[in-house]
């Protein structure tokens, strides 16, 4: 077997140099990505054209030699596969048909039907599993149920996930039925990615931080635990990364509460704090502020070194605290990588 450092870190090994990849590493900051997206015509066509989706996934691997590639797709493909109308508005983001009533929910399709829509994604995974360098780990992913639900309820991204919180308060049964449908679909979707060749899967709960107390436990922790348990039952040995973004103190114990092999950390928590409180339970991933990919310079070098040092006594995958932004400078990505690897 090739030496896949990310798999070693996920297995709990402390490595002298942490492996590195980057959320949204295939993205608009790269000129080659922009050219391929233009060729595809629009974002969803890029997601659903396996050759092109594989191409943009491979581009940052060719350019930078990251230790992992993450499948190019979008968390909102699952709602679309369940029957939601989905489009992306240039400069504004996604727009979906909403689920706010029982009638809306009843129009969603069964989980068993999602694979017809999502089959191009599985083909992309198959292409990548053949074409990636032998020492590069292939990561599949999905959105966590709470985060996906916030988009399905509001029909778009919102600053405070207010519509989802309102439905949760006003019609808890409908809200929980929607989460259940998303949870079941997520299990099936990720399982198919693994069957197609994904070696690791990551669960993105981008809006977990807007949940608190018992709601966090019920709607962030519990669905992640269920998804991870089912995937590991179907695919023994499968490593899973969980990312409950902006969880704060709720990061503590998240490994044990969910069964995740690695907890990804956003940049609102300090690396020293996370090393003392989260890394004690297993591998952590993160957590450089994405803004450093824009500004670069000595601050980027210093902060990268600080994070590497903070996590040096346990298993660590170096990454950003959130996705790289379109205004990032590709040269700063190389500077970050060189700094991590000690060049």
pLDDT band at residue 194 under the 50/70/90 scheme: very high
pTM of the model: 0.97
* pLDDT value of position 90: 83
Active site residue 28: yes
> Per residue in 25-45, pLDDT tens?
999 999 999 999 999 999 999
Degrees (nearest 5) of the Cα angle 188, 192, 193?
120
Residues 76-95: what's their mean pLDDT? 95
Average pLDDT, the chain: 97
* 24 in catalytic set: yes
Report the 10 Å Cβ neighbour count for 3: 8
**Annotated catalytic residue, options 29, 33, 37, 67:** 37
Which of 24, 181, 226, 245 is an active site residue? 24
Q: Is residue 1 pLDDT above 60, yes or no?
A: no
Marked catalytic residue, from 8, 28, 63, 341: 28
pLDDT band at 2 (very low <50, low <70, confident <90, very high): low
Instruction: Give yes or no: 74 in active site.
Output: yes
**Averaged over 179-185, what is the pLDDT?**
98
- Which among 154, 183, 149 has a CA at the least distance from the CA of 76? 149
> Among this protein's residues, is 130 annotated catalytic?
no
**Which domains are seen in the chain, by residue range?**
5-340 (3.20.20.210)
Choosing from 29, 122, 151, 219, the catalytic residue is: 151
pLDDT at 331 over 70: yes
Contact 84, 191 (CB under 8 A): no
Q: Could you tell me the strand order of the sheet in which 240-244 lies? A: 68-70, 137-143, 200-205, 240-244, 262-264, 283-288, 316-320
Q: What is the pLDDT of residue 135?
A: 96
**Which of 182, 41, 49, 198 is closest to 119 using CA atoms?**
49
Q: What is the DSSP secondary-structure string of 179-240?
A: HHHHHHHHHHHHHHHHHHT-SEEEEEETTGGG--HHHHIIIIIHHHHHHHHHHHHHSTT--E
CB-based burial, 136-170: b 16+ in 10 Å, e otherwise: bbbbbbbbbbbbbbbbbbbbebbeebebbbebbee
**How long a stretch of residues is the chain?**
343
Choose, from 48, 64, 67, 74, the residue flagged as catalytic.
74
Angle between helices 172-196 and 114-131 (to 10 degrees): 40
Note the pLDDT of residue 3. 86
Q: What is the pLDDT of residues 237-276, one digit of tens each?
A: 999 999 999 999 999 999 999 999 999 999 999 999 999 9
pLDDT tens sequence across 297-325: 999 999 999 999 999 999 999 999 999 99
| Cα–Cα dist 198/128, whole Å | 9
- What's the average model confidence in pLDDT over 272-285? 98
Residue 54 CB-density burial (10 A; 0-12 exposed, 13-18 middle, 19+ buried): buried
The answer to whether the bond into 62 is cis (omega within 30° of 0) is: no
């Amino acid at each position: 077997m090739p030496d896949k450092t990310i798999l070693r870190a996920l297995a709990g090994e402390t490595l002298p140099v942490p492996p590195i990849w980057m959320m949204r590493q295939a993205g608009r900051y790269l000129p080659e990505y922009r050219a391929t997206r233009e060729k595809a015509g629009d974002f969803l066509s890029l997601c659903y054209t396996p050759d092109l989706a594989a191409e943009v996934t491979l581009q940052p691997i060719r350019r930078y030699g990251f230790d992992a590639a993450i499948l190019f797709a979008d968390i909102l493909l699952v709602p679309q596969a369940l029957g939601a109308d989905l489009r992306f508005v240039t400069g504004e983001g996604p727009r979906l048909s909403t689920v706010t009533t029982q009638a809306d929910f009843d129009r969603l399709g069964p989980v068993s039907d999602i694979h017809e829509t999502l089959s191009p994604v599985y083909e992309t995974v198959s292409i990548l599993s053949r074409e990636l360098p032998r020492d590069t780990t292939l990561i599949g992913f999905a959105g966590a149920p709470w985060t996906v639900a916030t988009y399905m309820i509001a029909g778009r991204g919102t600053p405070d996930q207010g519509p989802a919180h309102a439905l949760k308060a006003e019609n808890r049964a409908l809200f929980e039925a929607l989460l259940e449908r998303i949870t079941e679909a997520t299990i099936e979707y990720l399982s198919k990615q693994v069957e197609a060749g994904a070696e690791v899967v990551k669960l993105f709960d981008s809006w977990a931080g807007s949940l608190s107390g018992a709601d966090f436990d019920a709607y962030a922790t519990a669905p992640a635990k269920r998804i991870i348990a089912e995937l590991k039952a179907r695919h023994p040995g499968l490593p899973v990364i969980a990312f409950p973004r902006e969880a704060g103190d709720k990061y503590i114990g998240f490994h044990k509460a969910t069964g995740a092999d690695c907890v990804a950390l956003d940049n609102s928590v300090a690396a020293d704090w996370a090393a003392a409180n989260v890394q004690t339970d297993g591998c952590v991933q993160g957590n450089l502020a994405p803004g450093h990919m824009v500004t670069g310079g000595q601050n980027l070098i210093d902060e990268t070194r600080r994070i590497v040092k903070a996590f040096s006594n346990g298993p660590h995958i170096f990454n950003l605290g959130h996705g790289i932004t379109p205004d990032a400078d590709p040269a700063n990505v190389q500077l970050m990588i060189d700094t991590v690897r000690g060049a």
